[in-house]
Structure 1
Amino acid sequence: MFYLLSLFGFLLSSPATPDTPKKTNLTIEVHNVRALTGAVYVAVFKPGKDFPEGKPIVGKKVDVTHDRVLTTFSVEPGSYAIAVYHDENGNGKMDKRMFGIPKEPYGFSNDFRPKLSAPKFSDCEFSVGDSGRTVRIKLDGI
Structure 2
Amino acid sequence: MMRIDYAFWGTNPPHTHPRATEILTVIEGTLQVGFITSDPQKRLITKVLQRGDVFVFPIGLVHFQRNMGHSNASAIAAFSSQNPGVTSITNSIFATNPPISTEILAQAFQVDDKTVRLLKKKSIVHV
TM-score, length-normalised on structure 2? 0.30
- Of the two, which has the highest radius of gyration? 1
